[in-house]
Chain A
Amino acid sequence: MYDIEHLYEAKTVEEAVSLRLAYPDAVILAGGSDVLIKIRSGKLAGCDVISIYGIDALRGIHMEEDGTIVIGSLTSFSHITQDPIIEKNLRVLGEAVDKVGGPQIRAIGTIGGNTCNGVTSADSASTLLSYDAVVELTGPEGKRLLPLADFYLGPGKTDVREGEIQTSLRIPKESYEGHEGYYIKFGMRSAMEIATIGCSVNVALNDEKTALTDLRIAYGVAGPVPMRAKKTEEAFRTAELTCDTVKAIGESVLSDVHPRDSWRAPKNLREHLCRQMAEDALVMAVKRSGGVISGMPESDVPAKDFLDITMFPEAGLDPKEVAR
């Protein structure tokens, strides 16, 4: 039994905007996988809720004429993973959101909720950030666009203003065209997990596939909000693909990140993970782009099944055992 004082349900964006204006203190509920937990735990007990869950117009993914990919804010994680536009142009996003929680959470959780709650560990956030995603908000004055990086104001705080709801996330064509990426989620177990560190790297390579022409590195949990490793990106944007580059990038990100010491993981472990995961995600992104890191022995290439949070996709009952 949830301690909700009043529940208001919007069927259209316009209704949502007027409810937001009428009840400015009410909590916005999209999929509910965060809000209901906070109500249950007492943090939001007794709150008023505006549910936007019923606004079907905010579900789905399409591409605009200029190639911009538009993801409706209520689109669920499992929808994103299986969407053909994402699979073709932005597969790393589909893979990243496929690492959220478990199947039930991925079916209910939305990308809008995942970004609006402002948490640094959100699995969608680092990849969206690495692709320079743009947030669309709709309010009484109409639509407002701003870069995702500016949308985050602080831990748990995002720039959703009076009367507004987030309506979509937009990925410009130049962000994804010619790029390949890789997301690594590090957790303490292989499912039902929150990231200890999340790292999303994407690259573009020269025609010879011997050097970078673009490099973007984004993190979750490496700071109070999802963040980019800007200094490292600047320094290595057009670097040669060598073992030394990989190592130097790993060392360099340490000047960008500032993870916290907490009971969930100590600072030095998180820093080490930032370093190692940048290297690993870079190598994997280069590999996906058809590039080769010169001088890297095969034994040092990261093993995919260790990077993926899902270690045992074949796990479960042995069919032979069941048949017995």
Chain B
Amino acid sequence: MSVIGESVPRVDAYDKAAGRTKYVDDLCDPHALVAKVLHANVAHAYVKSIDTSKAKALPGVVGVYTCFDVPEQPFPTAGHPWSTEVEHQDVCDRHLLTRHVRYYGDDVAAVVAEDEVTAKRALKLIQVEYDVLPFVLDVQEAMKDGAPLLHKKYPHNILAHTTNYHGDVESAIKEPGLIRVEGWYDTPTVQHCHIENASCFAYMENGRITVCASTQIPHIVRRIVAQALGIDWGMVRIIKPYIGGGFGDKQDALYEPLCAWLSMQVGGRCVRLACTREETFENCRVRHAIRYHLISWVKPDGTLVARKAECFSNQGAYTSHGHGVNAKGMNSIPQLYPCPNVACDSYTVYTNRQPGGAMRGYGMPQVIFALESHTEDIARKLGLDSLAYRRKTLMPVGFVDGFSKNELYSDTFNEVLTVGEKAMDYENKHRLYENQTGRYRKGVGCAVFWYNTAVWPIALETSGCRMVLNQDGSPQVQVGETEIGQGADTAIAQMTADAVGVPLSKVHVISCQDTDVTPYGTGAYASRQTYVVGMAIRGCAEEFKRKILESAFEYTRMQPYLMDIRDGNIVRTTDNRVLMSLGEFALTRLYDREHNEHLTAEKSTQIKTNAYSFGCCFAQVEVDTKLCRVKVEKIVNVHDAGKIINPALARAQVQGGMSMGIGYALSECMLYDQKTGRLLNGNLLDYKLSTVMDHPHLEVHFVENPEPTSAFGTKSLGEPPVIPVAPAIRNAILNATGVALNALPMRPHQLYPAFKDAGLIEELPDENKEAQHV
């Protein structure tokens, strides 16, 4: 019986529960030197000079290095597959330590010391002299003439401006009787808040540099470390052990290049560079804040005639993943709600804030908040049922995207909406909750999302797999795709068991990636892994089985095409007779004095497809209009992620995303001091990550329409769950109170003035007085 679709326990569950699993910090030599980075306390400046003499004189300090010591060549950090076409390569704008400070907290110097306390004390002794420059934090301000310029090559700080135009908006909107709906929608900067901070250690061995890192993308980090250090790629070895979450933050080279370089400066001794939580907030990556301006022209029956979208993404100081995040969001607009006349513009703009990188959903939580809020507003304005309106205007079955060739094969949208509507009793509640009075008001809302799977054709898609037959007939499987807490190893084990034909207990997944020995795969991002590694495993297993069955001929006398491997046995397919166990075969073959053979297979698989993945969220809230609090009472996510390999793990994956979505909706945002550019709330007390106490039960349903292009029928599920949550909650608050909130997070700071404007809260006496004076 196949284990595909079974909720088997995670292969790493027992060790993780028992605390035996080793992470980067557990593996580091306790005698390693400690590196600490000196972060700039200005938002924009040139470093004039750095005096390190006092720091160097402190006993226990091994070395102090500054932006004047590091290699000259700039390097990129984004966790994208390398492109051999220069114009598609990531922007090289980072140095290990920088002379041009571009955000408050930028890295200007580093200390290597015998211990952490000494390293921290040495940081305080470094004296930096800056030529301070004006800075800019807001995208619209950064695009203005005369704004402080971050990178000389990019006038008006615009890293990229791309468009998606078709039809003719200007002519189309002349049609009489059209209704125009316009809105501005704002999304905040948020952080991933993975449990394990960014951490690495590096040492030299036989002239090569090894970095053990908490990363999602070991093979890509290898390339970036080599680029940053200006050495041959083969001189770098990256080891990725178990990691405590990444959510895209670790789909970037973070401090691995600097750590490697520092080790090389101290004779190859092991150097540990572990970010504090504050550094993870301030110096790693964030989700881009993107501001949207949407205008739609619709007929009274809701038919979409024309649509304009402007998307302004705050890139922060460095390119990292750059414009790809914004462009992905923009390009989804005309796919999710096809429209004959579309004019979309997206701008990605540098500002003096920390760089935006990849984060779960890669631009989609932002654009879907805007688009699904806007869609609700359109339906409301037209007096249409918003669910029926969505069913009418969403991407139809059979839709094919010209660029990706993605196709909507099944009636997914109607199916997920039906499941969600029923689970929430949405239609009844939505009517019931209109026009409430009183302090406490309930509401329901819904939102759909668009996503794809993997990165083809934007970038290369490839996945490698190696299988080795042990003496007991158990296969070892090794892939380049990484377990980052999401359960990849378990899915890999299940797919391997199915593809090879052995019991799950026989499959040994090598979890750790080591670029010296792990087949090439690009890692955990783009919700790609189950899809692409499934193809790699299937392809490799075919080869592995072919080799086994060809060799088995010697012992069974049966033609390979008359045999198969089932449940750990070699069977004759014509009569299903068990000929020998795989264990018996493996032992016999390995120690065969005439024809010994160590049976292995290895295959690198290129993938040239992609797949649509859709779903929806239904949320029910109760709002305390006096205390400006929103309680999520019930929330339901419905996903069509194709065939589900492990329902329990998939459900957990969705619940994690819903939790992240609730925080995005109601409480999370990074706040910057307008006077200095400093991040104000870069810690887990002041950054309001939502807790389990803020959640109701997180209800999850799947609609399983197997994806035709996928080896196991799967498509993306890792990122999608976070995407539709915030607009569903926003639409529920609208249903409850009649107040349309167009900025996230919908925290009391925003609810209070909005409820006051709506007459739900009395003005303060002072405010009345002030108003009278004016």
Contacts and interface: CB of A to CB of B under 8 A. Distances in A.
Nearest to A320: B697
Nearest to B648: A324
Contact of B692 (A2, A41, A316): A316
Nearest to B683: A41
Interface string A28-62: 00000000000001100110000000000000000
Given A254-B764, A271-B764, A315 B680 contact: no
Contacts of B671: 263
B688 A194 contact: no
B691 A192 contact: yes
A1 B7 CA distance: 42
A65 interface: no
A143 interface: no
B627 interface: yes
Nearest to B752: A269
B7 A324 contact: yes
Contacts of B22: none
Interface in A118-136: none
B758 interface: no
Contacts of A312: 692-696
Contact of A1 (B116, B684, B695, B764): B116
Contact of B627 (A264, A271, A306): A306
A171 to B, nearest CB: 29
B667 A188 contact: yes
Interface string A240-284: 000000000001001000000001111011011101110010000
Given A42-B120, A188-B748, A276-B626, A315 B696 contact: yes
Among A186, A268, A275, chain B packs the most CB atoms within 10 A around the CB of: A268
B681 interface: yes
B627 A186 contact: yes
A189 B685 CA distance: 10
A317 B746 CA distance: 26
Interface of A is mostly: loop
B766 A1 contact: no
B761 A272 contact: yes
Contacts of B667: 188-189
A254 B769 CA distance: 14
Nearest to B115: A1
B673 interface: yes
Nearest to A101: B685
B470 interface: no
A303 interface: yes
B764 A303 contact: no
A269 B631 contact: no
A15 interface: no
Contacts of A3: 117, 120-121
A8 to B, nearest CB: 19
A311 interface: yes
Contacts of A265: 748-749
A117 interface: no
A196 B747 CA distance: 12
A123 to B, nearest CB: 14
B440 interface: yes
Contacts of A264: 686
Interface string B163-180: 000000000000000000
A289 interface: no
A141 interface: no
Contact of B688 (A189, A268, A272, A318): A189
Contacts of A190: 691, 693-694
A208 interface: no
A164 B697 CA distance: 50
Interface string B679-720: 011001110111111111100000000000000000000000
Interface string A169-198: 000000000000000001011111110100
A311 B694 contact: yes
Contact of B121 (A46, A192, A321): A46
B748 A269 contact: yes
Interface string B260-283: 000000000000000000100000
Contacts, number: 105
Find the residue from A1, A194, A265, A299 having the highest chain B CB count within 10 A: A1
A299 B438 contact: yes
B319 to A, nearest CB: 28
Given A3-B117, A273-B627, A263 B688 contact: no
Contact of A269 (B686, B689, B749): B749
Contacts of A266: 749
A251 B752 contact: no
A59 B749 CA distance: 40
Contacts of A276: 626-627
B439 interface: yes
A122 to B, nearest CB: 14
A306 B761 contact: no
A3 B123 CA distance: 13
A150 interface: no
B26 interface: no
Nearest to B686: A264
B673 A263 contact: yes
Contacts of B749: 265-266, 269
Contacts of A280: 626-627
A254 B768 CA distance: 14
A269 B673 CA distance: 19
A1 B117 contact: yes
A194 to B, nearest CB: 6
Contacts of A213: none
A11 B758 CA distance: 60
A268 B764 CA distance: 8
Contacts of B310: none
B624 interface: yes
A68 interface: no
Contacts of A269: 628, 748-749, 752
B174 to A, nearest CB: 45
A300 B695 CA distance: 25
A238 interface: no
A189 B439 contact: no
Interface in A282-324: 299-300, 303, 305-307, 310-312, 315-316, 318, 321, 324
B193 to A, nearest CB: 12
B629 interface: yes
Contacts of B681: 263
Contacts of A306: 440, 622, 624, 627, 629, 631
Nearest to B671: A263
A321 B649 CA distance: 12
Contacts of B691: 189-192
Contacts of A310: 693
B87 interface: no
Nearest to A184: B627
A315 B681 CA distance: 27
Interface of B: 7, 115-117, 120-121, 124, 278, 438-440, 622, 624, 626-629, 631, 648, 651, 667, 671, 673, 680-681, 684-686, 688-697, 747-749, 752, 761, 764-767
Given A254-B766, A269-B628, A276-B627, 12 more contacts: A1-B115, A269-B748, A269-B752, A271-B766, A273-B627, A303-B624, A306-B624, A306-B631, A311-B631, A311-B694, A315-B693, A321-B697
Top 8 A-B pairs, shortest CB-CB distance: A190-B693, A191-B693, A1-B116, A188-B688, A191-B691, A306-B624, A299-B438, A3-B117
29 contacts: A2-B117, A3-B121, A46-B121, A188-B747, A189-B688, A190-B691, A190-B693, A190-B694, A191-B694, A192-B685, A263-B673, A265-B749, A268-B767, A269-B748, A269-B752, A271-B764, A271-B766, A272-B752, A273-B627, A300-B439, A303-B440, A305-B631, A306-B624, A306-B631, A307-B627, A311-B693, A315-B695, A316-B692, A321-B651
Interface of A: 1-3, 41-42, 45-46, 186, 188-194, 196, 251, 254, 263-266, 268-269, 271-273, 275-277, 280, 299-300, 303, 305-307, 310-312, 315-316, 318, 321, 324
